[in-house]
Structure 1
Amino acid sequence: MAYEINEQKKIGIGLIGFGITFTFLGVILFFDMGLLALGNIFCLSGVAVLLGWHSTWQLFTRRTSYKGSVSFLVGFFLIFIGWPIVGVILESYGSIVLFSGFWPACKAFLCHIPILGWLFQYSFLFFDRFKLKSGS
């Protein structure tokens, strides 16, 4: 396997999983601020444990990622002061901008999971069926 998963990385992945779960529940339960705040704390701590504190700090303070960092942190703050819908929208945009460089590594990791890996490797089989035929 190309990626070594030690105990610290397992904890980081677990914290990120809890964060995504709490955030999902917070959105489903009409933007519950408590669940959204817990999800944010779990996600941030999971990223910090997974990448390391120094790498996380560099991720948020790089000159190329200021737009994503500012929108993510403003969204984080808005959730805590009581504007959860606007906060989630800003956080989502910030997350996409900040973590867009990680998608190839995530795809490579997910390709090693039995069923998901097959879907990622042979996704062209599914998308060919949904293409519109020209001239029809």
Structure 2
Amino acid sequence: MVDITEFQKTGIGLLGFGLFFLLFGVLLYFDSILLAFGNILFLTGLTFIIGIKRTVLFFFQRHKFRGSFFFLGGVSLVLCRWPIVGMMVEVYGFVLLFRSFFPMALGFVLSVVNIPFLQTFLQSGSSVV
């Protein structure tokens, strides 16, 4: 069993609130205040969960530099009250940062969710590519 420290529990809460504010910022027609608050809470929660050193090492790896640049640039644009452009840049950076994680996450979701039609559809689509 993995021991979770109080610091990490606080990080999970901050991360959850960050995602909550990001969701409602998008639902309320890209409200820049909610999006900025959500971005700050998300990054702070991530830092609390994995630590300052590992967060810096994650964002500033040589092969992830472009993704980090776009993601943090998008956060900066949202903070400068350009929410739509900032979120588009941020999503592009997020995809670049976590593209190696997506196949593993999709495999996990498919193993948990046992929907035959969906599995055959996704398996036939993956053999084409």
TM-score when normalising by structure 1 = 0.75
Give the whole-Å Cα distance in 2 for the aligned partners of 1:33 and 1:91.
14
Contact conserved, 1:48 with 1:56, CA < 8 A, in 2?
Answer: yes
Aligned residues, how many?
A: 122
Contact conserved, 1:59 with 1:98, CA < 8 A, in 2?
Answer: no
Give the percent of matched residue pairs that are identical in Structure 1 and Structure 2.
40
| 1:126 to partner: Cα distance | 5.0
SS at match of 1:123: coil
Give the whole-Å Cα distance in 1 for the aligned partners of 2:120 and 2:60.
43
Q: Which residue of 1 aligns with 2:126?
A: none
Give the whole-Å Cα distance in 2 for the aligned partners of 1:7 and 1:41.
20
* Aligned residues: CA RMSD: 2.7
| 1:23 to partner: Cα distance | 0.5
What does 1:25-36 align with in structure 2 at a 5 Å threshold? 25-36=24-35
Q: Which residue of 1 aligns with 2:69?
A: 70
Q: Which residue of 2 aligns with 1:85?
A: 84
Q: Which residue of 2 aligns with 1:8?
A: 7
- Rate the CA distance shift 1:80–1:99 in 2: closer, same or farther, 3 A: same
SS at match of 1:82: coil
- Rate the CA distance shift 1:58–1:130 in 2: closer, same or farther, 3 A: closer
SS at match of 1:30: coil
Structure 2 residue 118 is matched with structure 1 residue 127:
yes
Give the whole-Å Cα distance in 1 for the aligned partners of 2:121 and 2:106.
22
**Structure 1, unaligned runs of 5 or more:** 132-136
TM-score when normalising by structure 2 = 0.79
**Structure 2, unaligned runs of 5 or more:** 123-129
| 1:121 to partner: Cα distance | 2.5
Give the whole-Å Cα distance in 1 for the aligned partners of 2:31 and 2:16.
18
Give the whole-Å Cα distance in 2 for the aligned partners of 1:6 and 1:99.
25
| 1:35 to partner: Cα distance | 0.3
- Rate the CA distance shift 1:36–1:126 in 2: closer, same or farther, 3 A: same
